Structure 1
Amino acid sequence: MRLALSPDSVVLPLPVGLSLRSVATRKRVGDELTINVTRAGRKQPSFLLKPVPSGHWVSHQLPGFERDVLHRPADWVAQARGYRFEVDDPAGRYLPIRFEAPLPARKAVVWPGWRGWGATQRSRAAPVFPADAGASYIPDYLPLFSAPGARPENGMAQVRAQLAIRETGGATRNAGWAAVTVGLGTRVIGLGIADAEGRVCVSFPYPALPQQSTAEAADGREQIVWDVRVRVYCSELTAALSDGEVPELGRIFRQLAGTPLRAMATIMGSQPALPDQKLSLGQPLILRTALAAGAISSTLFLKSP
């Protein structure tokens, strides 16, 4: 008599599991990233996370912990230590992010920086959260913001700008890592982050079609346009950074709790603020400041605080 084979199953505890989602599409990003993890305060040893079919990034090893500790998940909360994550996209779709979180973690990594946000900060960061998220919602994922060179996806709007802070006398300085919101009515529908050079691409799904006028209902409309407001929050993070350094995610998000800088419609006269802008279906919205004699700058200037 021949007995059927009975395969054994082995369950290995997973001390690191990270989920990343695009702020633009809210889709999970599970490919073409480089994610390096290091014990906080140290340079070595470091290790890379690998993607798995679920869309998560994981590691079965965790340098700094003995194997017997990793095999006792019940002890992980008490044993957890801080680790630094460095997420980069060699494909150029997303900006890099830097943050710290405790490991090992029994579920997907939860960034401690989500806690303690006020209502204003959360409302300005609304695109990061699910549409039905409550005031106490804590994501089990980290956000990835569109890079300035990102290609537009079908059905997605794009608002682009080159940002710089301008003094009254004309001197300018870097507005790198500024946070930019795009609002429609009382809602923020788009959120983007500038790169180190102040270049920003805010990508988001087009909102519901605006209501037709009586004439448009009868004759159709040549163009679909929304009036959107743009706000720029900038704490001049680049001033404290060395070349090539990326600010911590918490410092980037804290800008949203402050007062927006005045985006200038023109540098002439009283330098009025940028009014609501026309976002047209199928066309990127490029933001620029007007100069003298009707010329248009290639930059959106922000009034120095």
Structure 2
Amino acid sequence: MSARLAPGFDRIVRHAVLGLQCRDAVDGRVVADGLRVRLHDGWRSGWTAELAANRSGVFVLHAAPGLHGFGAAAAVVSPAEPGRWRLEIEDVQGRYLPVAAEPLLPLDELFGVGPGAAPASPPDALPYVPLYSAPTRPLPPVLQALRVELRRAADPDAPAAWTRLELWLGTQRLAEGLAGADGQALLVFPLPRPREVPIGVSPAEAGERFEWTVELRAFRSAAVAAEPWPTLASLLAQPSAALLDAGSPPLPPAPLVLRAGVPLVARGATASYLTVAD
């Protein structure tokens, strides 16, 4: 028996088995243009699906081997297993570092981390995938930047790949970023509010309103660093690691002074890089 849909009354609802939205870790805005999003099936060698973004900037997949998106919810034909699916996100424009993940499908909500993972993420944002700045990202003129090269303390010739970084001003986190496979990192962030100074100070002292002493913190795992393309979950779960000057003996680097309009470069006293304790 066949039935005909009545225009204006009936419609086919197709639920997605995977949906995700990517947001800039700097300002929390949705990013869809220039991204290549692919899903790989570890059970079927060579099976790959490329996801397209809808008008809301959500990348959607409606069917995969053993899964389909028709019915009241995404129907499971064969059960998914942890580690079966691998999601890979690349920016063909070179603005963001690549991101990977291992989602469990099907999902009844957007895949990603909760709001607040990015310093500027909207508080009412749905789960999303944060995108971290690549060193090749063009710097917006109204934002500040910190650049740093990281190497392993045990082997200064080797990059401290995939180290996660946070920049703090007192109790305020200004920025979060990642070092790429080559150990190069770029953190982009808005300037903090000018410091308060008493009325009647000299012009020289007034200029100090736009200077801040900031702290750079590192988070690193040797296991994550050994991966050619780590997952987002493993990157965010890395433990704290000490940042060191490249001199001998290795000591904590000198305090960083952030100045308005001046690019900030974190480096050692005698080297152009910092090292991360193993």
TM-score tier (shorter): 0.7 to 0.9
- Secondary structure of 2:243's counterpart equals coil
SS at match of 1:13: coil
Mapping of residues 155-174 of structure 1, within 5 Å: 155-167=142-154, 171-174=156-159
- For 2:100, the aligned partner's letter is R
CA contact (8 A) 1:108 1:141 kept: yes
Conserved in 1, the CA contact under 8 Å of 2:22 and 2:130?
A: yes
Of 25, 33, 36, the residue aligned with 2:35 is: 33
Deviation (angstroms), 1:221: 3.8
Tell me the equivalent position of 1:72: 71
Q: Give, in angstroms, the shift of residue 275 of structure 1.
A: 3.3
Q: Is the 8 A contact 1:37 1:48 kept in 2?
A: yes
Name whichever of 229-238 and 219-228 sits farther off.
219-228
**Partner letter of residue 190 of structure 2?**
P
1:145 is aligned, of 115, 128, 132, to 132
Query: Which has the larger displacement, 141-150 or 228-237?
Result: 228-237
SS, match of residue 118 in structure 2? helix
Once the two structures are superposed, the pairs formed by residues 153-232 of structure 1 within 5 Å of their partners are 153-167=140-154, 171-216=156-201, 221-222=206-207, 224-232=210-218
Structure 2, unaligned runs of 5 or more: 1-5
What does 1:78-93 align with in structure 2 at a 5 Å threshold? Answer: 81=80, 82-93=84-95
User: Higher helix share goes to which structure?
Assistant: 1
Report if aligned partners of 1:40, 1:83 keep a CA contact under 8 Å in 2: yes
Partner of 1:251: 234
2:276 paired with 1:290 = no
What is the TM-score normalised by the length of structure 2?
0.83
TM-score, normalised by the number of residues in structure 1: 0.76
Aligned in 2, Cα 1:239/1:141: closer, same or farther, shift over 3 Å? Answer: closer
RMSD between aligned residues: 3.1
Structure 1, unpaired ranges of 5+: 115-121, 292-296
Residues 232, 262 of structure 1: 8 Å contact kept: yes
Structure 1 or 2: more strand by fraction: 2
The corresponding residue for 1:106 is 108
Q: Secondary structure at the match of 1:190?
A: strand
Alpha-carbon distance in 2 for matches of 1:19, 1:205: 23
Count of matched residue pairs: 268
Distance 1:171 1:21, change over 3 A: closer
Change over 3 Å in CA distance of 1:273–1:44 after alignment to 2: same
Contact 1:175 1:197 in 2 (8 A): yes
